């Protein structure tokens, strides 16, 4: 298709709620390194163009549940941006917030376009109030991705939305698809708190939440996903939350997990999977049980109420979903096998980097900080890698909390599939992340718990 303004379809409906104003926490730590100048994007032809205006606004998570928050194009979640495989996308961000912002395109490899990665003070100066910035990049790899602010705690103010890169030739058949965005419901301000862990107190964390939103809705007024009996339905799950991992299930149906963090995997049949912050799984279900069913996202390790959306078969007149206990087959990373060869990740790595995750209180330093190898970003050394190398990260989690670790600009192999975010379990949990250093630039590596990121759990990868 030719260049032109594609209309963002969005997820429909509003959501979110409470009064949120700018406060000191919104200053991005990463800016203390100072912005550096970057090339402007080229203004040549682009296959697909979007414009998003960032504003303060108000949305309704349930009737009468209204909060003020920050929005992309007056929507929460932000409009669903869709691009086809092989296309280039150009997105103009118009900042009408009272403060600076940037947008990170989570899952986009940004091959050769480090300057479009949206990390303030690292890949671009922040976009000042009243200004705009044009992001332009090749939309790759295919799959379910997302975009969000990378400044301060803005992600927890609702500045997030799905970014879908449609495959030209999907490896699984389906008749219909729905996107399912899970997030915490915050009626107060995003702020750093000290999380009491009993014997071990003082872990820095985030605020208390008032519930779980799915597609911007509280469970009392759920989003309704329509299906027709006999269809195969692709569900694109995204955890866009700031703190909580969720256990996901579809009552009355098994799921075939078909994609992890975008790229295709061999289908795996499961009853549930855990979805860490920043992670995505796509699953296909057979719509062969007419009625109304609950798709549930239950926060792990936590008493925050679950979120839900309803799977509604056309013609069903059930108001309340049928309840059925969910089976016990839960997806593990080891169940995932990439579709296509991963030859370049075979064999011993050229460089192995030990990555120890901890809090300051445990291994020296300030209790109010999260550390990688004993250092607190931005007062932390960059990690140097060499172009062409097969790099292995051996990540060990010395803390009791899980950490979804995200590397910008690269997908890495965990077990047998390509991912861009992987949850490292607490209590000495370990993960190997293998990637090929094929994308020169400065790339952020960080925990996708927003409050861990904000209190230091980040590093820069630099090409030598």
Please give the residue ranges that form the binding site for Cu ion (CB under 5 A): 403, 447, 449, 452
- Nearer CB in complex with Cu ion: 140/458: 458
Nearest distance from residue 451's CB to Cu ion, in Å?
A: 8
Nearest distance from residue 148's CB to Cu ion, in Å?
A: 16
Nearest distance from residue 449's CB to Cu ion, in Å?
A: 4
- Tally of CB atoms within 10 A around 212: 25
- Nearer CB in complex with Cu ion: 310/447: 447
- Nearer CB in complex with Cu ion: 310/372: 372
SS3 383: strand
- Nearer CB in complex with Cu ion: 219/400: 400
Nearest distance from residue 84's CB to Cu ion, in Å?
A: 34
Distance CA 211, CA 132 (A): 34
- Nearer CB in complex with Cu ion: 158/205: 205
Is residue 104 a contact partner of residue 147, using CB atoms and an 8 Å limit? yes
Distance CA 15, CA 379 (A): 37
Nearest distance from residue 46's CB to Cu ion, in Å?
A: 35
- DSSP bridge partners of 393: 353, 433
- Nearer CB in complex with Cu ion: 150/403: 403
- What's 8's DSSP letter? P
Place of tokens 């909580």: 244
- Nearer CB in complex with Cu ion: 349/429: 429
Distance CA 220, CA 256 (A): 28
- Nearer CB in complex with Cu ion: 88/403: 403
Class of residue 368 by CB neighbours under 10 A (exposed 0-12, middle 13-18, buried 19+) = middle
- DSSP bridge partners of 445: 407, 459
Nearest distance from residue 277's CB to Cu ion, in Å?
A: 9
Nearest distance from residue 426's CB to Cu ion, in Å?
A: 10
Nearest distance from residue 355's CB to Cu ion, in Å?
A: 12
Nearest distance from residue 458's CB to Cu ion, in Å?
A: 10
Neighbouring C-alpha atoms within 13 Å toward the C-beta of 115: 13
Distance CA 415, CA 198 (A): 34
Report residue 328 as tokens. 């016990």
Is residue 371 a contact partner of residue 458, using CB atoms and an 8 Å limit? no
Nearest distance from residue 403's CB to Cu ion, in Å?
A: 3
Nearest distance from residue 246's CB to Cu ion, in Å?
A: 16
Q: Give φ, ψ of 388 to 5 degrees.
A: 95, -15
| 260: enclosing H helix or E strand | strand 255-260
Is residue 360 a contact partner of residue 367, using CB atoms and an 8 Å limit? yes
Is residue 458 a contact partner of residue 444, using CB atoms and an 8 Å limit? yes
Which one, of 43, 73, 44, 40, lies nearest residue 56 by Cα?
73
Which one, of 176, 416, 420, lies nearest residue 312 by Cα?
176
- Nearer CB in complex with Cu ion: 374/388: 374
Report residue 403 as tokens. 């950490």
- Nearer CB in complex with Cu ion: 14/450: 450
Is residue 143 a contact partner of residue 105, using CB atoms and an 8 Å limit? no
Q: What is the 3-state composition of the chain as percent helix, strand, coil, each rounded to the nearest 5?
A: 5, 45, 45
- Nearer CB in complex with Cu ion: 339/432: 432
């Amino acid at each position: 298709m030719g260049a032109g303004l594609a209309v963002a379809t969005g997820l429909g409906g509003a959501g979110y709620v409470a009064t949120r104003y700018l406060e000191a926490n919104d200053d991005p730590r990463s800016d203390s390194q100072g912005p550096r100048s970057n090339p402007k994007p080229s203004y040549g032809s682009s296959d697909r163009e979007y414009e998003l205006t960032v504003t303060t606004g108000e949305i309704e998570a349930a009737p009468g549940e209204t909060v003020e928050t920050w929005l992309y194009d007056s929507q929460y979640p932000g409009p669903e941006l869709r691009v086809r495989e092989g296309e280039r996308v150009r997105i103009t961000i118009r900042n009408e917030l009272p403060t600076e912002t940037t947008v990170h395109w989570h899952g986009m490899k940004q091959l050769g376009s480090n300057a479009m990665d949206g990390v303030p003070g690292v890949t671009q100066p922040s976009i000042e109030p009243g200004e705009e910035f044009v992001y332009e990049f090749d939309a790759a790899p295919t799959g379910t991705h997302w975009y969000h602010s990378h400044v301060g705690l803005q992600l927890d103010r609702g500045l997030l939305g799905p970014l879908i890169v449609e495959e030209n030739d999907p490896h699984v058949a389906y008749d219909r698809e729905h996107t399912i965005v899970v997030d915490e419901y915050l009626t107060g301000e995003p702020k750093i708190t000290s999380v009491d862990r009993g014997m071990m107190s003082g872990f820095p964390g985030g605020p208390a939440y008032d519930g779980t939103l799915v597609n911007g809705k509280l469970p009392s007024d759920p989003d309704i996903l329509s299906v027709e009996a006999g269809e195969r339905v692709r569900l694109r799950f995204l955890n866009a939350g700031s703190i909580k991992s969720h256990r996901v299930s579809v009552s009355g149906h098994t799921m075939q997990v078909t994609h992890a963090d975008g790229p295709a995997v061999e289908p795996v049949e499961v009853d549930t999977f855990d979805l860490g912050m920043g992670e995505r799984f796509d699953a296909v279900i057979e719509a062969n049980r007419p009625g109304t069913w609950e798709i549930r996202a239950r926060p792990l390790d936590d008493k925050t109420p679950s979120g839900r959306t309803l799977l509604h078969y056309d013609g069903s007149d059930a108001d309340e979903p049928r309840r059925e206990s969910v089976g016990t087959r839960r997806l593990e990373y080891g169940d995932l096998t990439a579709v296509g060869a991963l030859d370049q990740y075979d064999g011993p790595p050229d460089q192995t980097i030990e990555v120890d995750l901890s809090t300051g209180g445990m291994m020296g330093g300030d209790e109010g900080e999260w550390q990688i190898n004993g250092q607190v970003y931005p007062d932390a050394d960059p990690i140097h890698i060499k172009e062409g190398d097969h790099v292995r990260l051996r990540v060990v989690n010395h803390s009791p909390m899980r950490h979804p670790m995200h590397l910008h600009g690269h997908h890495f192999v965990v077990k047998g599939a390509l991912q861009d975010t992987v949850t490292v379990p607490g209590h000495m949990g370990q993960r190997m992340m293998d990637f090929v250093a094929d994308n020169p630039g400065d790339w952020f590596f960080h925990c996708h718990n927003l409050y861990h990121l904000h209190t230091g759990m980040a590093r820069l990868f630099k090409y030598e």
